[in-house]
Amino acid sequence: MNKKKPIIWTISGSDCSGGAGVAADIKTGHGLGVEVCHLITANTVQNSHRLLSVNAISVEILQQQAAILLEDKPPSVIKIGLVANVAQVQWLAQLLKHTKQVMPNVISVYDPVGQASVGGSFSTTTLEQLTPLLQQVDVLTPNSMEAKSLARLADFCDKSDANETAVEILAKKIHYDFGITSIIIKGGHSRDEQSSSDYCYHQLNQLHGKQDNQDKTLTAISYQLSAQRIESHYSHGGGCSFATALSAFFAQGYLVRDAFTLAKAFISQGLSASERVSESFGHQYYGAFEQQGWPWHTKFFPKIVDELSVKYQDLSAFNSLNLAGKKLGLYPVIDSLYWLKRLLPLGLEIIQLRVKNLAESELEHVIIEAVAQAKEFDTRLFINDYWQLAIKHGAYGVHIGQEDLQDADLTAIQQSGIRLGISTHGCYEFLSAQRLQPSYLAIGAIFPTKTKDMTGQIQGIDNLRQVLSLRPDNKHKIPVVAIGGINLERAREVIETGVESIAVVTAITEAECSHGISPELAVTRLQDIYPSHLNMRVSGRLGDS
């Protein structure tokens, strides 16, 4: 059955040699599951080693194309590549301004195409002339040379392409000069022979304060991805493909950090697929970037360079869950001793105490009691958030979310011997957390949930599958727990993805209201969805504690 695909528009030049521009954009978009409408700004005359001419298309034709497409093919994302002259810049600036007024969620991505990789210039517009367009753009994808000229810092950090502080300064300057929300500076042209590092500066809009009196404050966040450098003579159109891949991922609802990660993996996969070629036709042949579609294999995904991975690079793996080949099965997440007492007798492999808003003195008592009860039933008890108390009172493990991860002392947790579970939401966080080698990784929210505000972070089953494929193909696979909106109706399709466990709150605690059954019966039914051998209890299975 045909699924309605998101639509992206590419407004860029045609490369008659087929590698770059609109041709690359169409191939990339189709390979990544979006429909591509193309508005051609110029007909270029070029082959694998030289650019002869750039023949601009009139603004009248572009205007007509945009108008007719708006009637029944409105875009989710507008990707802009080659802009041939000042008239086109002005038209584009107006088009983006107008489109955002009528469709505020449309995202614009601009890949500034100035110099041809085979030599020669595509456009003679000055930075001043380009400014009205830059002021309308949401995401910009320059390489480091382009970033320097856009930041008007041509001589800046000339010898330090790979230096993170240097790219950060460039990105900030571009952000402040033009108001662009996300700037991704590609490191593919840097002098580092071993790795290629890309940097993303992203401004988050955060809402603070009471619901009816919200203050909008701006916080910037940066992401850095590093991959092994892959030399290839088949990289023509790689820049266009990267920006279109980003656009395709945005159109499918991915957050900036995940779209960035996937786009980098898409490029590494394409470059890996091409062979080095020797000289032919009397010159170095420069072929089209290999389009390989969705990046599925973990080997193409970049290394996440963040504070945690640097701080804990020498930390050993956390203690394992000692599953001896079995799955964890159902993972109830409950908020009181009342629920613990009700559920522990039901034969669970794992349970979590997730207590919010309890005074510290009372909390400590609850944790002490919970640890004692879980030991009695030989069930793995994870304490959410309170890692110091979990260590102090000998809980089986602690579960930590992304926010708390920054402040938690992971060395202390690892050395205490208790297990660690980490929440992740998408491939970026998953890859970052996987490097810490926790005892399990949680991924959510799989479906919308009313237990916690997960706006913008709903993964769906397809994303869950993709994230599962990011685990190494060896015995060091970390168990994965799926969480968020999982209930009796949805549990089967989640389990069929191969996750080791499903974590649920309301499917148990509100079973009476939602299904007219007792929480105990809900537990039994959810357990029964797993093949029966997975939930067989083996005596002494917590033997490593």
Outline where DSSP puts E strands in 209-349: 215-228, 303-305, 329-334
Residue number with CB closer to Mg ion (384 or 459):
384
Residues in contact with ligand LCLJCK34, shown as a per-residue x/- string from 464 to 483 under the rule CB under 6 A: -----------------x-x
Bridge partners of 382, per DSSP, are: 352, 397
Annotated binding-site residue? 354: yes
Whole-number Å distance between alpha carbons of 205 and 217: 6
On whether the CB atoms of residues 500 and 481 are closer than 8 A, the answer is yes
Annotated binding-site residue? 355: yes
Bridge partners of 86, per DSSP, are: none
Task: Kindly state the tokens that stand for 426.
Answer: 């998408």
Number of residues that bind ligand LCLJCK34 (CB under 6 A): 16
Question: Does the protein bind ligand LCLJCK34 through residue 351 (CB under 6 A)?
Answer: no
Binding site for Mg ion (CB under 5 A): 384-385, 401
With CB atoms as reference, the residue minimizing the distance to ligand 3NM is 444
Rounded to the nearest 5°, which phi and psi values hold at 323?
-85, -15
Whole-number Å distance between alpha carbons of 397 and 399: 7
Q: Which helix (H) or strand (E) holds 468?
A: helix 460-468
Question: Does the protein bind ligand 3NM through residue 505 (CB under 6 A)?
Answer: yes
CB atoms within 10 A of CB 109: 24
Task: Kindly state the tokens that stand for 85.
Answer: 């002259």
Question: Does the protein bind ligand 3NM through residue 485 (CB under 6 A)?
Answer: yes
Residue number with CB closer to ligand 3NM (456 or 516):
456
Give the CA distances from residue 139 to residues 100, 142, 230, in Å, rounded to whole numbers and listed in that order. 14, 10, 25
Among 46, 274, 352, 449, binds ligand LCLJCK34 (CB under 6 A): 352
Task: Kindly state the tokens that stand for 105.
Answer: 């969620």
Question: Does the protein bind ligand 3NM through residue 484 (CB under 6 A)?
Answer: yes
Name residues contacting ligand LCLJCK34, limited to 422-451 (CB under 6 A): 423, 442, 444
Residues in contact with ligand 3NM, shown as a per-residue x/- string from 400 to 439 under the rule CB under 6 A: -----------------------x-x--------------
Question: Does the protein bind ligand LCLJCK34 through residue 198 (CB under 6 A)?
Answer: no
Give the CA distances from residue 441 to residues 73, 150, 273, 398, 472, in Å, rounded to whole numbers and listed in that order. 40, 40, 31, 12, 14
Question: Does the protein bind ligand LCLJCK34 through residue 79 (CB under 6 A)?
Answer: no
Distance of closest approach, residue 445 Cβ to ligand LCLJCK34, in angstroms: 9
Question: Does the protein bind ligand 3NM through residue 81 (CB under 6 A)?
Answer: no
In the chain, the amino acid numbered 153 is: L
* Contacting positions for ligand 3NM (CB under 6 A): 423, 425, 444-445, 449, 451-452, 454, 483-486, 504-507
* Contacting positions for ligand LCLJCK34 (CB under 6 A): 331, 333, 352, 354, 384-385, 399, 401, 421, 423, 442, 444, 452, 481, 483, 503
